[in-house]
Amino acid sequence: MVRAIWQLKMLTLAVWASMLFGLLVGLLPLVGMEPTAGAKLDPDHTPSVEPLPSSSGSNCSDLTLKLEFSTKVVENEYIIGFTGYFSAKARSLYISSALRNAKDKALEWRIVPRQNPASDFPSDFELVHIRQASPGSLLTLEDHPYIKRVTPQRKVFRMLKYTPSPEPAAPCNATRSWQSSRPFRRTSLSLGTGFWHATGRHSSRRLLRAIPRHVAQILQADVLWQMGHTGSGVKVAVFDTGLSEKHPHFKNVKERTNWTNEKTLDDGLGHGTFVAGVIASMRECQGFAPDSELHIFRVFTNNQVSYTSWFLDAFNYAILKKIDVLNLSIGGPDFMDHPFVDKVWELTANKVIMVSAIGNDGPLYGTLNNPADQMDVIGVGGIDFEDNIARFSSRGMTTWELPGGYGRVKPDIVTYGSGVRGSGMKEGCRSLSGTSVASPVVAGAVTLLASTVLNRELVNPASMKQALIASARRLPGVNMFEQGHGKLDLIRAYQILNSYKPQASLSPSYIDLTESPYMWPYCSQPIYYGGMPTIVNVTILNGMGVTGRIVDKPVWQPYLPQNGDHIDVAVSYAPVLWPWAGYLAVSISVAKKAASWEGVAQGHVMVTVASPAENDSEAGGELTSTVKLPIKVKIVPTPPRSKRVLWDQYHNLRYPPGYFPRDNLRMKNDPLDWNGDHIHTNFKDMYQHLRSMGYFVEVLGAPITCFDASQYGTLLMVDSEEEYFPEEITKLRRDIDNGLSLIVFSDWYNTSVMRKVKFYDENTRQWWMPDTGGANVPALNDLISVWGMAFSDGLYEGDFTMADHDMYYASGCSIARFPEDGIVIAKNLKDQGLEVLKQETAVVEGVPILGLYQTPSDGGGRIALYGDSNCIDDSHRQKDCFWLLDALLQYTSYSMTPPSLSHSHSRVPPPTGTERPLPQRLEGNHLYRYSKVLEAHLGDPKPRPLPACPHLSWAKPQPLNETAPSNLWKHQKLLSVDLDKVVLPNMRAYRPQVRPLSPGESGAWDIPGGIMPGRYNQEVGQTIPVFAFLGAMVVLSFFVVQLTKAKSKPKRRKPRIKRPTYLQQQPAATTGKNPAV
């Protein structure tokens, strides 16, 4: 009976412990999980959902942020830029003085008043309303000695619309397809709520671990928090949509300014609040630097409208307020927007560290946005929580340098940009994806890092970028145009920054053409004698000062034991490094003695940078820093002529600066051709295919007169918009007679359609027609007319089959004339020109689209024409035609006519060109403004004089008889940096394991990755249930053990129960009675 009662008590205690366990499990979401997007838990634990367009019932939202963007010129308003900062009275006097000289009596003008904080301070521009402004009046303004530039005022519309996803809701780490809108002006770089973009690198099954709740903790900001660093004393500016005054997430909003024409400082969209929260939120979805001074610049209205002048005024005010860090989550492809670009340079020259999103136009290459593509700005790309490059993140290279040079490495760094949580518009948290999310992650990290440095004078745009890229963790299997220098590592950046000494460094810090895949595209093709020089564009970062120079000349030192004397090196560089940076272009070629040699050659270039010392007590008044650029290349014997293909880059033009339309007119949301038309940007897949087929592809960045045609089998011209020098036409005809072959992929050209796709010119204030069509067909016809060939002005599209391959013709032209002994293939296609002009549909039978021709001269080359380039262009390719390119190269390189074409049922007699007139150049076009060939002339533009071919000055080698380093990447470190000297506390117990939640996995077991010190831990009270739960588990375990013992003890106690009974019966034995057995 006693045993039963004891067991019942134990069981009752166990039941109570189990109930306590269940209660604590019910409370755990307050500890280990965040409130769902857009929801906030009130004291009664009743969820109240704020009006945000986000899902409130799952870890993933099924809403997508649809981005629409447009821009137009404000009628009669001009931005007049001055050569310096002047008072309002002085600016007015300069303008009136300049306009008096115009002698235009009908001219009416007035200065547009400014209603913003900058109106009380000197400025370097004025906004003026001018009625009936003639081009002569504007030119007169620019003639004034204190007026630098006159540009029209822009009005920008940005539409962020949350729409239901057309796809069913997917798990948080699933892959979804995404289509860029590719806006052609600056816009917010935010995508929709959280979904994952994976590259497929990690496809094997593996053990998954939970992540902490906030991106700041994932990047271990809590390590610095516990050391007492929380962003104190650092001024950070957010240029966006504003912030509510009483938002509960922010404690140190120093100033909110409104630069719009609305009378409010609050955020009516939520984007600016989210960005500010990632940087400086102090509770719930914690930011990196909650103690930083937050300066909110509202530059977009609730209708998502902004003006160029608003940005310029706001930038000037940021300089005046001595802002330290500035986040700009907008971007656009126009790196020739001079007022904007110049002002960014001025900002960074004033020690403002600008962090900007690299763009959401991935996975296409050559899609970098400005200002993130500038050398002085930290350009940020996005990754997901599995360290895959986000599909939306824009890829390099920069296209400023084309066609003659080569692009720089961008982005600078990547960090989390998919499904990141930040502050909701009024309260609570929400999730967003996009590089505009990754940008404030880095901006917050930069703010936090700056607060850890005792000597703030050491912190500048160059030193901060040097610390970030030197500490970045390289992602495996990803090239430098996708990840830059790698993934943000906050703790290593802290260690480097706190042992930093002013110095110069290089980006990239070495050139290894054998390292794959990081050094793609350089690693994809070895170099050989006779090939075009390989150009590597290196950025010099100067942490010693805003200005600098290269002392003497860079020195080339080949390693003799590593065959360094087998390569020649030429170096060109910026004469002045400003602001904080400059370029170092390294051209590499193979020496003649290595024409038949195969192997690896190494050497290095030594560069010394000097900057004026801020403290004149320094010796000589200058700081100097010498950096080494290691070079390693793979050399092979010169391949045969038939395997060498030359890509004509010189005759490709793109936006900016001119209006060059897309090759596919169906892409109405992406009207401009702005990706560079380079084999390493939007023709990357074609290049990779040709390399896989054994071809060696080189780039011609100079006129046709500047290459030795005897070295190449085929000249490849794709989507050419430029005109041709008469000397080029003559030389090409001679080269083809001597065995060079030519392949041309053309595109549409129709003057009526070009007039139809016009828009208002922002510079001339006139309707602006395209300067060419998809390609400059009249110029191509001049080039190939000597062989009796020509393209038409027809515009066609449609699906068809050729040689058992499915094909799609996207806004291509037809062949109008072809030699009678050539091979011509025709297909039935839709007349897209008729559809564009009259909205009518018609099918045209027998449209000639492909032509093959063997020139009659002895040993002459072959010519192939195709009317559409979209099938090899990554921009909007629907069905590739790489097989066709293979067949054409077999024909041009080896004179092997594909039977599938020569015996095709679609073969037709060559057209004679009598059916319709050949296309003529658009009357009044402005191609000469952007052309390298044409120049303005009375009447029609005329060709310029043929420029001299580029001549490289090869550096005189200074050989070294020593062994080169084996690992160039790890060998390169910032000078004067000793990570061992910067000791971190033992935070291992607080470091979180990182990965996204699995589909359907609860976040209830996510333990915080660290607690912010003191008053910053707004959820410290919520940790009490955790300790109570752990204590209850200990008690429950104790009772379970005791209950187990209770069940086993009766078996051992049986003898003890009988023994007392036996002893009590012993006296009976003395009476002669036997005990019972």
Residues classed as catalytic: 240, 271, 436
Distances, alpha carbon 563 to alpha carbons 372, 515, 557, 629, in Å:
39, 18, 11, 17
Strand 555-558 and strand 599-612: the pairing is antiparallel
C-alpha pair distances (Å), 148 with each of 125, 189, 262, 309 = 9, 31, 30, 16
DSSP state of 532: P
836's enclosing H/E stretch is: helix 832-838
Contacts within 8 Å (CB) and 24+ apart, 11-19: 11/1043, 13/1039, 14/1036, 14/1039, 14/1040, 14/1043, 17/1032, 17/1035, 17/1036, 17/1039, 18/1036
How far apart (Å, rounded) are the C-alpha atoms in residues 463 and 1031?
49
The dihedrals phi and psi of 31, each to the nearest 5 degrees, come to -100, -50
Mark residue 839 as left, alpha or beta (left: phi above 0; alpha: psi -120 to 50; beta: remaining): left
User: Which pairing describes strands 330-331 and 305-307: parallel, antiparallel, or unpaired?
Assistant: unpaired
Q: Kindly provide the b/e burial profile for residues 903-926, where b requires at least 16 CB atoms within 10 angstroms of the residue's own CB.
A: ebebeeebbebeeeeebebbeebb
Query: In 3D, which of 152, 158, 155, 151 has the Cα closest to residue 183?
Result: 158
Report DSSP state, residue 247.
-
Q: How many angstroms separate the CA atoms of 786 and 801, rounded?
A: 31
Question: At which residue do the structure tokens 């009447």 appear?
Answer: 939
Report how far apart the first and last C-alpha atoms of the chain are (Å, whole number). 25
492 within 8 A of 463, measured Cβ to Cβ:
no
**Site of tokens 């297909």:** 827
Q: What single DSSP character describes residue 842?
A: -
Contact 807, 883 (CB under 8 A): no
Find tokens 């009669």 and name the residue.
Answer: 76
884 contacts: CB under 8 Å, gap ≥ 6 = 802, 803, 805, 807, 850, 866, 871
Per-residue tokens: 137? 């009046």
